[in-house]
Amino acid sequence: MLDIQQLRTDPENIASRLAKRGYTFPVAQFQWLEAQRKSIQTQTQELQARRNATSKQIGIAKQKGEDAAAIMAEIAHLGGELKQAESQLERIQAELQQLLLTIPNLTHSSVPEGKSETDNLEIRRWGTPRSFDFAIKDHVSIGEELGLLDFETAAKLSGTRFNVMKGGIAHLHRALTQFMLDTHTQEHGYTEIYVPYLVNADCLQGTGQLPKFEEDLFAVHAGTSEHMGATTSTGHGLFKLYLIPTAEVPLTNMVRDEIIPLEQLPLKFVAHTPCFRSEAGSYGKDTRGLIRQHQFEKVELVHIVHPQTSYETLEQLVSHAEKILQKLELPYRVMTLCTSDIGFSAAKTYDIEVWLPAQKAYREISSCSNCEAFQARRMQARFRNEKGKPELLHTLNGSGLAIGRTLVAILENYQNRDGSLTIPSVLQSYMSGLDRLTIEDGK
């Protein structure tokens, strides 16, 4: 959420900056709501003052033995007016809040301007794509011919955009998870966290998925609010929770409504979770294979930091995600997203794209973002600064990495002429010493 004081004092400049990312800020609507808020707030304050002054007159009249009926009637009338004004103020403030929740973050000055992903800026490349002396297969063909990827059974169980992994590929998927967690906790200093996979609406509002992107989420109605230990419900005896689209949501919300002592910063969290996305608006895209699934797994990295260090932290975050690909010896490139391609909550984002031989293209495998105070303001997540005063934190997040897409990259980059798959050397200890998957493993 943006600072409302900025919007009040310089709405035209904010609108200009938001236009660069393709968002039209409704200046007139905002200013009308603000004018209504100020007017009704002033009216409410005046009524409260009059009621307080009149209340004192009742006490004085009674002390003098005078009839206070007229004054009490006036108090009752003021009370009715005040109640009506407070109700109007609450409605206007709610409308204003809903508007603020739909406005994206302002981009950092270093973010390149652009109208589409073609305007993203390449920063660097690592590794050289392998040259093959045989016909390359995509990850679906490799996995199915090994007998270890089964999309037909997944469709029977759940529908399209799900998968079933078997044997060696399921083991490889698990090995990747363990390898990533070990690297980030043992080498990069993250604290491993286990989090719920179901969260309430406040969590998703805090990180920016709600209210704007509700259609991208899977909602679950289960139990009563009493059974769930919750304070709100759908109004039909059922409590509404959401399956997490990323571990960023529960990890970042761990500091919601908290004031973190300065000496505890920075906080560095890592979690492995499944992620659930409806992929609304992506129909027809990446329908084959593991690239775009309704259920997939990620190792997520989250930083909670002092505002002065957040851009230095962003560079560290990207390097931590890169290290996984370097250890796996997978070629990749790092891109800075332009103003029109950046995510809703982000002020600046780097995408890491891994090389996929079958597509002859680099594809996103990690997005690392600095959200500055945007999420913290929504969550009221603060720290006590050097002067002892509460101040908004900065939050950052990134994939370290998306496990399914990493598996895709391994299947395609490590494939062999005979249909077998070489296990990257760094993963072999996680695979009980196995260095290759063959067709025999799937029988």
Q: What are the residues facing 382 on neighbouring strands?
A: 259, 392
Q: Which of 13-17, 276-280, 343-347, 428-432 has the lowest mean pLDDT?
A: 276-280
Stretch(es) of the chain classified as CATH 1.10.287.40? 26-102
Average pLDDT of the segment spanning 249-270:
98
Question: How far is 207 from 376, CA to CA, in rounded Å?
Answer: 8
Count CB atoms within 10 A of the CB of residue 129.
14
Helix (H) or strand (E) holding 126: strand 121-126
Three-state SS at 273: strand
Distances (CA, A) of 180 to 176, 184, 248, 324, 326: 6, 6, 16, 7, 12
Q: What is the pLDDT of residue 231?
A: 46
Q: Dihedral through CA 4, CA 395, CA 310, CA 115, nearest 10?
A: -70
Please give the CATH number for the structural domain made up of 26-102: 1.10.287.40
Q: What is the pLDDT of residue 229?
A: 54
Instruction: Yes or no: say if 347 and 135 are a contact pair by the CB < 8 Å rule.
Output: no
What contacts 226, CB < 8 A, 6 or more positions away?
A: none
pLDDT digits (tens, 9 = 90+) for 83-107: 888 999 999 999 999 999 999 999 9
Stretch(es) of the chain classified as CATH 3.30.930.10? 117-197+244-442
DSSP-assigned letters across all residues of 346-410: -SEEEEEEEEETTTTEEEEEEEEEE-TTHHHHHHT-EEE-TTS-EEE-EEEEEEEEEHHHHHHHH
Q: Which two tokens stand for residue 71?
A: 């004054």
Question: How far is 381 from 255, CA to CA, in rounded Å?
Answer: 6
Q: Which residues are annotated as a binding site for L-serine?
A: 246-248, 277, 300, 397, 399
Question: How far is 230 from 240, CA to CA, in rounded Å?
Answer: 10
Peptide bond into 26 cis (omega under 30): no
Instruction: Yes or no: say if 149 and 143 are a contact pair by the CB < 8 Å rule.
Output: yes
Sign of the torsion formed by the C-alpha atoms of 151, 157, 160 and 165: negative
Spatial CA neighbour of 252 closest among 201, 303, 211, 298: 303
Q: Which CATH class is domain 117-197+244-442?
A: alpha beta
Burial environment of residue 51 by CB neighbours within 10 A (0 to 12, 13 to 18, 19 or more): middle
Phi and psi at residue 55, in whole multiples of 5°? -60, -40
pLDDT digits (tens, 9 = 90+) for 267-285: 999 999 999 999 866 666 7
pLDDT digits (tens, 9 = 90+) for 339-376: 999 999 999 999 999 999 999 999 999 999 999 999 99
Q: Which two tokens stand for residue 334?
A: 């790092």
Is the pLDDT assigned to residue 198 strictly greater than 60?
yes
pLDDT digits (tens, 9 = 90+) for 287-327: 789 999 999 999 999 999 999 999 999 999 999 999 999 99
Question: How far is 54 from 81, CA to CA, in rounded Å?
Answer: 14
Q: Dihedral through CA 81, CA 84, CA 89, CA 94, nearest 10?
A: 170
Radius of gyration (Cα) for the chain, nearest Å? 27
Q: What is the pLDDT of residue 15?
A: 97
* Mean pLDDT, the chain, integer: 92
Three-state SS at 15: helix
The amino acid occupying position 391 is E
Q: Which residues are catalytic?
A: 277, 292, 364, 367, 405
What contacts 348, CB < 8 A, 6 or more positions away?
A: 107, 108, 110, 111, 311, 314, 336, 337, 342, 369, 370
Q: Which two tokens stand for residue 34?
A: 């603000």
pTM listed for this prediction: 0.92
